[in-house]
Structure formats: structure tokens, C-alpha cells
Structure 1
């Protein structure tokens, strides 16, 4: 019995060592993915982070999601330089501003590190793929939704930033839909900083528009934060007109559930994060991938707002 016990103990110890070695080897062999987003102070990017982390968990990839603390281009460049030193297997990045970020991304490409663009696209020739919204399609659907609440000849304003990839495409898409049904674009403002979404600047912008166009009938904003500040300013001026945003953050959805707004078009940031990790896995496996992995656009109205709110609150 004593010899048998010793044999069983030795067998157990060897089994533990072998299992530990295999687990360690598998952990070392996991694809190392680094996701660098613009910032993590907003609901939007927190939801992207949740999607990416669920992807790591489900797909068995090793990865991390990081962001500049203050959300500046300079911080993101420095962060990417530090990431490059670690030589990840794949980089997923949402560039704050593509022009100053592309040179550092070229260095990843030079070292044969695949780069996936997330949320913000750019015609950079070395990207492996873009995962995110078709912003022209989002704008087109936003314009259709706003038009459904107005009459031909009504005046609307469009408010966004100077980013041609995001704001520009959304505003162009919305313009096509609105003008097609006889809605007049009374004002287009592209001066809002999409990095800060400064409430004072937004308030001053919409008040200037109202001074020039007191008969304004609706507003399209390129993101939900701008849309909410616009709505607050309109309310302070005694106006109750439709405002359409984009991102689908909880604050905006709650306004729809309350009936303050009729509806909005939203991106799918959770899917965006998850799909970026799934695409990274496909790249690792040598599978064919699309150059644009579309994360889709949803219409949210009072009837489906609560379901989306509950889902997002669990993530946040």
C-alpha cells in the first residue's frame, strides 16, 4: 500500500507538471493583440473595450485595450511607439487624427505587424482592414429618419467637426437623403472639436444658427454628445424640434425611451470591438478577410430602446 501511495503521488506530481507546461506553452503561443483606442472616458469607447475583451475571452487570444489618458494625438503617438517596442503580433488602432498617426503605423508595417483600423478609417495603403461603421450609410439613414418627421421645404441644420472621414461622410450622406425629399439645409457647421465636444462651443454654435434661422425645424449632429448638448440648448430657448445623433450612448437612448426624441440611428461599438478581435484571429490564421468589416447601423425607437439600454448598462 505504501509503495502504491508513493507511485500515485509521483504520478500526480508529473501530471501537474505536464499540465502546467502545456498551459504555459499555450499561453505563450496565444496571439498578442494590442488595441489602442482614442480614449476611455466616454461610454462609446468603454463599450468598444467591452466588445474587444469579450472577443479575447471567446476566441482565446491574448490582448489588452489601452488609450491615452487625456485623449491627445501626442499621447497616442507616444503610446504607439511604446507598443511597437513590445512587438505585438497584431495592432488594432482607432487613430485620433490619421495624419500624425500614419507615420508611426508605417513603422509597424515595416516590421510586418498587421495593423487593423478600428472606428476611424483612412485610405492608408498598408492597413490590413478597417472595422467599423460605413459613415456615409449612417448619415444617409440619419437624414431619412429626420426627414420622416418633417415636411418638404422645412429647414434643418447639420453640426459636426472637420474630420472628413467621420463627420464629412455622415453629413454628405444625410444631405443626400434630406435634399431628395425637399428638405432645405439651412446651415452646415463643421467647427466642433470631436475630441472635446465642448458644450460651450456647441451652445454658441446652435444659438448662432437659431439667430439666423429662427424657423429651424430639425438638427442632425454627427455624434450623440453633440446632439444632447444641442437638445439642451434648444430646450433652453423654448424649442422642441427633432434632433438626430449617432453613437447610441445610454443617455441618448434614455431620451428616446422617455419620448423626448422620436428615434435615432446608432453605431454598434460593442460589435465593432468584438469584430476587430475576430478579424485579428482570421489574420493570424491566414484566412481571407474583407478590407471593410462593417459593424452595421441600427434604428432605435421607443419600442426597442429599453432592450439596448439594458444591454449597454450591463457592459458599462
Structure 2
């Protein structure tokens, strides 16, 4: 055998040994990485619930989430808070479908007016997964319970407050979160019914904000340009009053224009203290979330729950703010 052949033979053997070594090593790595080193700890939570909001990062819905998490912690429940980033029917329905497919123990969701919503909820309930609507009802569905505001009544309260605060004399513009959502329509209708017998009050414009502060600003600006006779605004969602207040301050008309909004976000509080917003309709989002979890536990344990629970609603003005904030301690 020539020297060249011997060298080639030795190199071949070395390469074969190295190749085998790498194969054994990486085979060992793959096997050991696929096998867990210890057993997964069992889930100690009693139930797995999902809360699906109108908008994931909406400040109002974060308060609902806060209440739900407080109850989940107290009662050892795994709570998922998931949903569309911005209000969207299709994304909301998909989230509900995915939650049902994951076989969660209960679904808590805002009720939708979309025609596909009730049939979907009915199918889920028929499969044995309880559904509770929160904040907005879907009374025609097979949902097992609703907890939230009486939205018609809250709009009616707003109308009566406006009558009292303006001495029954106002040209009103309404900024509503949505023309299509049940709770927004109910608030507008309640407001209209409250003022219908007042000869000195008339509604001159109704616009939609799409649950957007920026859109509320744009619509309020447009209204004041087209209807300079407007002396009052009613905002039917949490962000509407804030958007209107920004426009009123931009026009420097704080003393000429009355604003009644919805909810008590921090910016709403700021505008109430400044006197730009004169009143707001206060809901109980924390309580909605807390009690929804408790009701779902009761349903899972075979207990009866009321079909409808209306949480408290009231009108808050500047002088009400300090005592109200001092008395808020979670669920009352």
C-alpha cells in the first residue's frame, strides 16, 4: 500500500469516528431535552375562567378585570383576560370560540348585538360551558346570567341630571360610543325619554365615537363648528366625555357648555375638579368583575344564581367626588 493510500485510510477512519461521536452526542442531547427532568406540578386552581372585554386595554374594562382578579385570587380560580385590542365583532366572536374550544370552565363576556352572537352563545351553553354576560346583556341568548348596569336607566338618570343642572334649557349634542351596540343604544334611548317632555331641551346632533377618545374629540369639534348653538353634551361611553372636554377647553367655552359623561376614569375626575365636566354617570365595573367570578363559581357548583343583577348607578358631581372616592373599597 502506498504512503498516500495509508494517509487516506487513516483520515477516513478518523472522520468516521468523529462523525459517530457527534451523532451519539447530539442524539443524547435531543433525547435528554425531550424528556422532562421532573414532573409538572398539578394545577391547584379550582376552575379556569375567561373574561372577554369589549377592548383589551380599555380603562373601564381594566377595572372590570381588577374586580375579577380580586375574586379569582380569593377563590383560587385561574382567570384569563383576553379579547380584541380594539372593539371588533369578529375578533370578539373568535375569542369566544377559542375559549370554548379550550374547554374552559366558564366564559364571562360583554354581550354583543351582532346576529351571530346569540347562536354562538347558545351552542356553547348547550355543550355544558356556562356563559355570563357582563356590562352589556344578550337577553335573547341562552346565557345563564347577566351582571351590569341597567343601561336604559343610566341614560334616563343622565337626562334627569341635565334637566336639573340646566334648568330645563339646553341645545344638546350626544356623542355615543356606537350606533350598533345595545348598551349604547339603551343609554341614548333612556336619555331621550327623560327629556322628551321638556320644551326647553332639544337634541341637535348625535354622532358616533367608535369608543375612541380621539374620535369623540373630532366629532365634538365638528358639532361645535356646525352647531354653534349647542350648550350641552352627553357622552355615553367612558371616553366620550373626555374627548368633549378637550374640545370645550380648546374653544374656551367651559362656562357656556354643560357636559355630562360616563364613568369615573382618572381624566374624568380631573375635568370634574376643573369644572369642565359638570356631572358623570358612575357605574360599578370592579363589582361587576368580582361578582361575575363569584356567580360563575356558584354555577359550576350547581347553585342557582339570579338571571339578571343590576349593579348600582348614580350621578356624580364635583361636590360628590371626595366622599365618593374615600368610600370606594372594592366591592360594596
Asked if TM exceeds 0.5, the reply is: yes
Query: Are residues 1:215 and 2:229 paired?
Result: yes
Q: Bigger CA drift: 257-266 or 203-212?
A: 203-212
Counterpart mapping for 1:252-267 below 5 A: 252-267=268-283
Residue 87 (structure 1) shift: 0.8
- CA radius of gyration, larger in: 2
Give the root-mean-square deviation of aligned CA atoms.
Answer: 2.8
| Cα 1:176/1:78, change in 2 over 3 Å | closer
SS in 2 for 1:224: coil
1:157 counterpart residue number:
173
2-side partners of 1:261 and 1:132: how far apart? 24
Could you tell me which runs of 5 or more consecutive residues in structure 2 were left unpaired when the two chains were aligned. 1-40
1:192 counterpart residue number:
209
Q: For each residue in 1:282-302, what CA deviation from the matched residue of structure 2 results, as whole angstroms up to 9, or x when unmatched?
A: 212322222211122133222
Q: Bigger CA drift: 59-68 or 45-54?
A: 59-68
| Cα 1:300/1:168, change in 2 over 3 Å | same
1-side partners of 2:276 and 2:251: how far apart? 16
Q: For each residue in 1:248-288, what CA deviation from the matched residue of structure 2 results, as whole angstroms up to 9, or x when unmatched?
A: 21110222123333321111111111111121122123222
Instruction: From the two aligned structures, give the one with the greater helix fraction.
Output: 1
Residue 217 (structure 1) shift: 1.9
SS in 2 for 1:189: strand
1:236 counterpart residue number:
250
1-side partners of 2:213 and 2:115: how far apart? 23
Residue 114 (structure 1) shift: 1.1
1-side partners of 2:315 and 2:169: how far apart? 25
2-side partners of 1:98 and 1:311: how far apart? 38
Aligned pair count reads 288
SS in 1 for 2:196: helix
2-side partners of 1:208 and 1:71: how far apart? 23
| Cα 1:94/1:151, change in 2 over 3 Å | same
| Cα 1:57/1:127, change in 2 over 3 Å | same
1:80 counterpart residue number:
96
Are the counterparts in 1 of residues 241 and 277 from structure 2 also a CA contact under 8 Å? no
> Normalising by the residue count of structure 1, what TM-score does the alignment of the two structures yield?
0.81
| Cα 1:95/1:154, change in 2 over 3 Å | closer
Query: Are residues 1:129 and 2:129 paired?
Result: no
Q: For each residue in 1:110-138, what CA deviation from the matched residue of structure 2 results, as whole angstroms up to 9, or x when unmatched?
A: 31211111112123331111111100111
Q: For each residue in 1:33-77, what CA deviation from the matched residue of structure 2 results, as whole angstroms up to 9, or x when unmatched?
A: 221112221211111100000111223333222222344333223
Counterpart mapping for 1:79-158 below 5 A: 79-95=95-111, 98-158=114-174
1:303 counterpart residue number:
319
Could you tell me which runs of 5 or more consecutive residues in structure 1 were left unpaired when the two chains were aligned. 1-22
SS in 2 for 1:216: coil
2:71 counterpart residue number:
55
> Normalising by the residue count of structure 2, what TM-score does the alignment of the two structures yield?
0.77
1:176 counterpart residue number:
193
Q: For each residue in 1:217-268, what CA deviation from the matched residue of structure 2 results, as whole angstroms up to 9, or x when unmatched?
A: 2111111311111122122223221111112211102221233333211111
1-side partners of 2:120 and 2:224: how far apart? 43
2:219 to 193, 197, 205: 205
Residue 310 (structure 1) shift: 7.2
Are the counterparts in 2 of residues 94 and 119 from structure 1 also a CA contact under 8 Å? yes
Query: Are residues 1:283 and 2:294 paired?
Result: no
Residue 164 (structure 1) shift: 4.8
SS in 2 for 1:64: strand
